[in-house]
Structure 1
Amino acid sequence: MKVLVTGYSGQLGYDVVKCGNNRGLEMIGISSRDLDIIDKQGVFQYVTELKPDVIIHCAAYTAVDKAEDDKERCYDVNVNGTKYLAEAAKEIGSKFVYISTDYVLNGQGNEPFKETDALNPVSYYAYTKHEGEVIVQSILEDWFIVRISWVFGINGNNFIKTMLRLSESRDELNVVGDQFGSPTYTFDLSSLLIDMIQTECYGIYHASNEGFCSWAEFAQEIFKIANKSVKVNSISTEEYKTRAERPKNSRMSKQKLKDNGFDTLPTWKDALVRYIAELYQEGEVN
């Protein structure tokens, strides 16, 4: 099986390629340096010549706050780029995996969102990711839409690395405590995606590590595991102003995974222990 992975320079794309290679698949990872996905003609030519059996589309414009002012670029990457890849996938008959986000949900309430719940994106970034979902469903038949949240992996920046970096110079931090969700370890998610593409169980899935926490609770667990003496003060969303609105409820039900025979991911605490061990092993933290 030949698998094309966009966003190879990011956290998820990097781990997907690594996982697929370890599982004996032919993985082709590309970044924006290899292919500009907003170049319609270039995308069509590249994909139709390569003829992958599957496209896993991890590339995205993810600067949530910047997107509020950089709307044209965000739309180009997240909507037009997705459209061109989906059209090329249709031309060659390849399966398509679109990596989406908890941000497409309305972020209200306390219950986990189901895969079938109505969408109501609250930021411009979220709007473009929602548009990407709509486009994939309208163009293709053999598609997977996988919504993820609070991503962390070895290849790139993330909340965990930021917290550990700040712990070197700070002994007290204010962290938002009224936004709840599930961290997603790209190592675990990658294995699920490789399982998924070898089936025809198409549809929308939620895929994050099991269990829920707030950002403040997440930070506390990071410092506990890394043995860092940092006091975490839980603050409200209103006390931490950002350009784009964030969902307070990013809890997602994983029932669709279970219904289709896929293994859910390990708990986020288990994933965090393994990830911090990986960071120490790579020499990224002291």
Structure 2
Amino acid sequence: MAKKKEATVEERLRALYDLQLIDSRIDEIRNVRGELPLEVSDLEDEVAGLKTRLEKLEESLNNIDTEISDRKNLIEESKALIKKYTEQQKNVRNNREFNSLSKEVEYQELEIQLAEKHIREFKAQIEQKKEVIAKTKEHTKDRETHLKHKKGELDAILKETEKEEKALIEKSEESKDKIEDRLVKAYERIRANVKNGLAVVPIERGASGGSYFTIPPQVQMEIASRKKIITDEHSGRILVDSALADEEQEKMNKLFAKLSS
């Protein structure tokens, strides 16, 4: 990897502030999207889950239909056996044979009653499952409509900002290449630890940007001299003078306008 060209402190401060302005612009774009990507992802998972549930319910219905068909076949088989045993009773030679056949007939009649009971239970299950399926289909349709709407919102925002965001990310990397790794890591660490993502801030009204803590005049003069990297002792943020900040802001505004057009 090629060694980065040694830059002056002022060049590093400008690069750091440019990096901050670019990353803040990326933050703004992502804030516009807000929770939409997560909402879309959650809705996709919910719809997929509902469709899986529908598939299982439909499969369960098919299984119940098979069970009913099996019971109907059993009933027909029992009826055929009853007819057979009844015919055989006409030709018995003694009471023992007659009673034995009577028990077989009775057993088959009980089998028919049990099968009919199961069929009634299965039919009740079918009605219950059909009701659940209807409600699940309705809920799935509602969630799909909501998902379509949210996807439309997200796609519109992405279409509007995707090109700019991609270009800004490239510019962010270019700015990092102008700064030594140690400073980039410090910048990223500070940025991760502050609520608004501001790791590099200008002096405003004698205090660091976004802070009420006053910077001593001597320190303000050192910052304005741009001879060394100075951080705010209270927030840890890297400080730049307002003149440098205004110059870089104007330069970046032109870049942002170009990228968003």
TM-score of the superposed pair, with normalisation by structure 1 = 0.21
- Structure number with the higher strand fraction is 1
Larger radius of gyration: 2
